[in-house]
Structure formats: structure tokens, C-alpha cells
């Protein structure tokens, strides 16, 4: 079949874009022809049919979302409805044109029918699904009921859209979710049955390593080999609870005196001039004042933050005559990974950490508890319970942070202990979340 995977964006480092690339590889191995429909192509070298109205940060959609979920200020109720309908018609027309010109057999929207972020996009695909005589899938990574943002629409029309289109209960659509919690909730709330396809990774790919291209990575960031790099590989958004990563980094910084003179796991000696940095590889997509609160917290705990997304893209490339590294290059030079999200549909960065063989500090978010924990990975746990303060920042018990700090220090200086943990994690990832496992599920799902 000719299959189009659709999303707001491709060729970037967000989880949905990365997972679509994996599906493309698996589906092509099964003999299908696969390309993308999106609002932007990022650094993707694949065939992408661009529909500008789908762009993740489309100005019109941003305005619609503000008025649909916060307050009517640019439209009245009828005006907002008309705007959504008009843009959705344009999107549907362009989808139909792509299908007609390319003889597409199946379209799989990714999160377009899930959250309600792009109301015109979701409605546009819905209109095309009703009018086109092709197969449809729906890959859901997150749902609107999982986010407070979408809980109180400003007008009844938007509320009806959320119920009827996100996701749609049209006959013949094959729905896919990424965890058991979502599967159960989707059937309970919408009466829609779905297949679970967990996030996967190519554990049989060549290992990421130092090479001629990335050999200057630390130097480019102003870092030495004796510095400790704690990688926060996700985007900067509130649900990632990055304040917990700062707490953990603070726990390591508080033990700096102990580290001085010790050999790190990589053979480098940590000295009085060595730095401990929390490195951000992802885009800042937070809402004010979240980033400012993070910076203030880091200052209080003497944690050095280093922002490097301007040097990192989905793939290695050149921009303004400057070398751009891939996200994988960041993993090569990480000493530890923090993954403190309190809400994840599954967890792409968790799999990346397993493959990269870097120890991880993990908050046991609900899907981790329900679908992943039983596999038996070796992690530095931040527990599964938290509180939220007046600034909406996440906190866990101080004793948990202290214990995590101690465990991180051991993983930094005890190479044998570290190696045993990461090798165990890699083998478990290979067994449970490989491309082979994905292909077996997709073969049944896309048969015919």
C-alpha cells in the first residue's frame, strides 16, 4: 500500500516525529511505500507533502487555540466557529489533492485526532475521512482528557468537536494507542477499541559513538571531558517536570567536594575546576513564567544550566554555515540522563537512554508504572508520588532526592557498577522494544 503518515511537523526531535520515522522504517520493511503529510519538514530528508495550515506553531491555529481554551478575545462564538470550519475546509481540500495526485491507499494521522491542539486540522482530516474512499488509521500518543488545557472549552461548538472528532468514532478507522491506560480510557470514554503499539527503538542499529563529526561537541559547548554533563533531552514543557532534574543536579553539586580527585566512569579525573552542568537539548515550548522559575530554582541550588538546542536538530545538518549536531550526538557525551516527566504517553527518551547505555534518573509516571516498570530496568527512581506548589512546580520528598543524588554519584565514579546497569537495560530494551516487535504488530494492523 501507499501509506501517508500525517502530523503537524516532521524532522524534529519531538516524540511523535521520532516515532513516525520508526513506523516508516518498519512499514517499508513490510513492503509498503510510505511518505509524510505535515505542516513543516524540519531536517527530514524524506518525502513530505506540506500543508502549511498544519504547522505546529501556525499563527492562525495559535490564535484559535487561545480563544477556544482560554478566552474569547479575537472572535465571538460564531466567528470562532466559522474560522475553524473555513480552515478545516482548506485542509481537507489539500489532503484530498495529495491523495488524488499520489494514489494514496491509507492515511494515518498522528495525534491530529487526539489532543485538540489543532481544531481545524482534526476537523479537516475528519471531513476527508468521511469523503475519501481509502483506509484510515489513527495513531494516538496523548488525549485531550489527559491535559487540563483542553478541559474547559470556551464555547459549546469546541466542546462538541472534542467529543466527536478527538478522536472520531467513524467506522473502519483502525485506532492505535501506545499504552494500556490509554486503551482502557478510550474504550470507556468513547466506546472505541484500539490496538496497543508501544514506542520502540532500533536496538540493532550501530551504536552512537564519538566520531569525526561530533568529536568537538563538548568543545562547542565550552565543556571539558572532565566536566559532568547531565542531559535533559526532552523539550522544555511543564509536564516534563524539569524542576526535578534541577533538584537531582543540585544533589550532585552538593557532593562536588567528595567528587574532587575521583576518577569518573570514563577515566577522566574530576577536579576543582570541573563543572557539573544540566544540559538542555530540546526546544523551549513552555509557557511563561516556567523557564524563569526553572532558572531561579537552579540559581538557588547552584546548578549550572546550559541550553544547546540551537546546535541540535533531528539530524546532522548545516545551518547558517554552522555545524548542527543530531540529538544522538548529545547522548554520546552525556554522563547521566534525567527523565523526570510526570506525564508521558509512553517515553521515547527513555528508550533512547537505554540504547545509548547512559544511566537514567526517572520519575515513575503512570505509564511507566503500568506498562514498563515490570520489565525490570535499572533506574535511579524519583518515586511515583509528587506535590505541586503555588508556582505549579513539581516536588518529591527530599529523602528521595538525597538518595537519587547518592546513586548518581556512584554511577559517575563506579565504572563496573555503571556498566552492569546499562548493559542490563540495553538487553531488556532489545528484547521488549525492538523494531522486530513493532513490525510484528504493524504487519497485522496494516494487512490488506
How confident is the model over 67-115, as pLDDT tens digits?
999 999 999 999 999 999 999 999 999 999 999 999 999 999 999 999 9
Residues 369 and 243 in one domain: yes
- pLDDT for the residue 73: 96
CB atoms inside a 10 Å sphere around CB 271: 13
What pLDDT score does 92 carry? Answer: 98
- In tens, the pLDDT along 284-342 reads 999 999 999 999 999 999 999 999 999 998 789 999 999 999 999 999 999 999 999 99
444 and 176 Cβ atoms separated by less than 8 Å: no
Interval 175-210: pLDDT, tens: 999 999 999 999 999 999 999 999 899 999 999 999
For residues 440 and 418, membership in a common domain is answered with: no
- Decide: 288 and 437 in contact? Cβ < 8 Å: no
Instruction: Give the number of domains in the chain.
Output: 2
The answer to the question of residue 209 being in a domain is no
Could you tell me if residue 133 is inside a domain? yes
Does residue 229 lie within any of the structural domains?
A: yes
CA atoms within 13 A on the CB side of 432: 18
Please indicate, yes or no, whether residues 440 and 423 belong to a single structural domain of this protein: no
Mean pLDDT of 109-132: 97
User: What cell does 77 get?
Assistant: 462564538
Mean model confidence pLDDT for the chain: 95
Separation of first and last alpha carbons in the chain? 8
The H helix count followed by the E strand count for the chain is: 16, 18
Whether residues 301 and 251 fall in one domain: yes
Closest CA relative to residue 348, chosen from 12, 5, 4: 12
The pLDDT confidence band at residue 448, using thresholds 50, 70 and 90, is low
- Residues in CB range of 394: below 8 A, 6 or more apart: 241, 243, 244, 340, 342, 386, 387, 388
Range of the domain at 414: 217-432
With respect to residue 400, please indicate whether it lies within any of the assigned structural domains.
Answer: yes
Answer yes or no: do 175 and 313 share one domain: no
Q: What is the CATH number of the domain that holds 60?
A: 3.40.50.2000
Q: What is the pLDDT of residue 346?
A: 86
Cell triple for 375: 520489565
Q: What are phi and psi of 380, to 5 degrees?
A: -90, 110
Cβ neighbour number for residue 21 with a 10 Å cutoff: 18
148 is a domain residue? yes
**Are residues 86 and 232 both part of a single domain?**
no
- Domain assignment present for 212: no
Q: Are residues 161 and 249 in the same domain?
A: no
Residue 206 is assigned to a structural domain of this protein: no
Q: 424 with 356, same domain?
A: yes
Examine residue 207 and state whether it is found in any structural domain, yes or no.
no
Q: Cell numbers at residue 43, please?
A: 531536517
Q: How confident is the model at residue 45 (pLDDT cuts 50, 70, 90)?
A: confident
Q: Is 78 helix (H, G, I), strand (E, B) or coil?
A: helix
Pair (144, 276) in one structural domain: no
Confidence of residue 12 (pLDDT cuts 50, 70, 90): confident
Residue 4 pLDDT more than 80? yes
pLDDT at 298: 98
Check: pTM over 0.85? Answer yes or no.
no
User: How confident is the model over 416-441, as pLDDT tens digits?
Assistant: 999 999 999 999 999 999 998 899 88
Q: Kindly indicate the confidence band of residue 357, based on its pLDDT and cuts at 50, 70 and 90.
A: very high
**Domain match, 244 and 290 both:** yes
CA 87 – CA 59 distance, rounded (Å): 12
Alpha helices for 70-176 (secondary structure H) = 77-102, 119-131, 156-165
Same domain, 427 and 364: yes
- Same domain, residue pair 239 and 357: yes
Arithmetic mean of pLDDT, 153-166: 97
Q: 347 pLDDT exceeds 90?
A: no
418 three-class SS:
helix
Exposed, middle or buried, 73 (CB in 10 Å: 0-12/13-18/19+)? exposed
Amino acid at each position: 500500500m501507499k501509506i501517508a503518515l500525517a502530523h503537524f511537523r516532521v524532522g524534529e526531535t519531538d516524540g511523535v516525529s521520532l516515532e513516525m520515522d520508526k513506523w516508516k522504517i518498519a512499514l517499508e520493511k513490510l513492503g509498503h511505500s510510505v511518505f509524510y503529510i505535515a505542516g513543516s519538514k524540519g531536517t527530514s530528508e524524506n518525502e513530505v507533502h506540506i500543508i502549511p495550515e498544519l504547522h505546529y506553531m501556525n499563527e492562525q491555529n495559535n490564535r484559535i487555540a487561545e480563544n477556544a481554551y482560554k478566552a474569547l478575545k479575537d472572535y465571538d462564538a460564531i466567528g470562532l466557529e466559522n474560522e475553524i470550519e473555513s480552515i478545516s475546509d482548506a485542509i481537507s481540500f489539500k489532503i484530498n489533492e495529495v491523495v488524488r495526485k499520489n494514489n494514496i491507499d491509507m492515511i494515518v494521522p498522528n495525534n491530529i485526532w487526539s489532543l485538540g491542539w489543532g481544531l481545524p486540522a482534526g476537523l479537516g482530516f475528519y471531513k476527508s475521512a468521511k469523503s475519501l474512499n481509502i483506509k484510515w488509521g489513527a495513531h494516538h500518543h496523548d488525549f485531550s482528557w489527559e491535559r487540563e488545557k483542553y478541559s474547559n472549552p470556551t464555547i459549546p461548538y469546541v466542546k462538541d468537536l472534542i467529543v466527536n472528532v478527538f478522536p472520531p468514532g467513524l467506522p473502519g478507522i483502525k485506532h492505535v494507542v501506545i499504552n494500556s491506560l490509554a486503551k482502557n480510557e478510550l474504550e470507556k470514554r468513547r466506546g472505541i477499541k484500539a490496538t496497543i503499539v508501544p514506542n520502540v527503538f532500533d536496538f540493532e542499529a550501530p551504536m552512537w559513538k564519538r566520531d569525526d563529526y561530533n568529536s568537538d561537541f563538548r568543545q562547542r559547548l565550552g565543556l571539558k571531558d572532565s566536566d559532568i554533563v547531565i542531559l535533559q533531552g526532552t523539550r522544555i514543557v511543564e509536564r516534563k517536570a524539569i524542576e526535578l532534574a534541577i533538584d537531582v543536579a543540585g544533589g550532585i553539586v552538593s557532593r562536588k567536594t567528595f567528587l574532587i580527585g575521583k576518577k569518573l566512569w570514563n577515566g577522566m579525573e574530576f577536579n576543582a575546576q570541573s563543572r557539573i552542568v544540566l544540559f538542555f537539548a530540546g526546544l523551549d515550548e513552555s509557557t511563561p513564567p516556567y523557564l524563569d522559575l526553572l532558572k531561579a530554582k537552579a540559581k538557588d541550588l547552584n546548578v549550572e544550566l546550559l541550553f544547546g538546542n540551537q546546535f541540535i536538530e533531528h539530524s546532522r545538518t548545516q545551518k547558517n554555515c554552522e555545524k548542527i549536531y543530531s540529538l544522538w550526538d548529545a547522548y554520546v557525551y552525556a554522563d547521566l540522563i534525567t527523565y523526570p516527566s510526570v506525564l508521558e504517553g509512553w517515553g521515547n527518551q527513555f528508550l533512547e537512554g537505554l540504547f545509548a547505555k547512559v544511566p537514567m534518573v526517572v520519575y515513575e509516571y503512570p505509564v511507566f508504572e503500568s506498562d514498563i516498570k515490570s520489565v525490570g530496568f535499572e533506574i535511579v527512581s524519583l518515586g511515583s508520588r509528587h506535590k505541586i506548589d503555588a508556582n505549579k512546580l513539581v516536588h518529591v520528598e527530599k529523602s528521595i532526592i538525597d538518595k537519587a543524588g547518592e546513586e548518581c554519584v556512584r554511577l559517575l565514579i563506579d565504572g563496573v557498577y555503571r556498566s552492569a546497569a546499562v548493559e542490563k537495560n540495553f538487553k531488556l530494551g532489545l528484547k521488549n522494544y525492538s523494531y522486530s516487535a513493532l513490525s510484528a504488530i504493524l504487519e497485522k494492523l496494516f494487512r490488506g
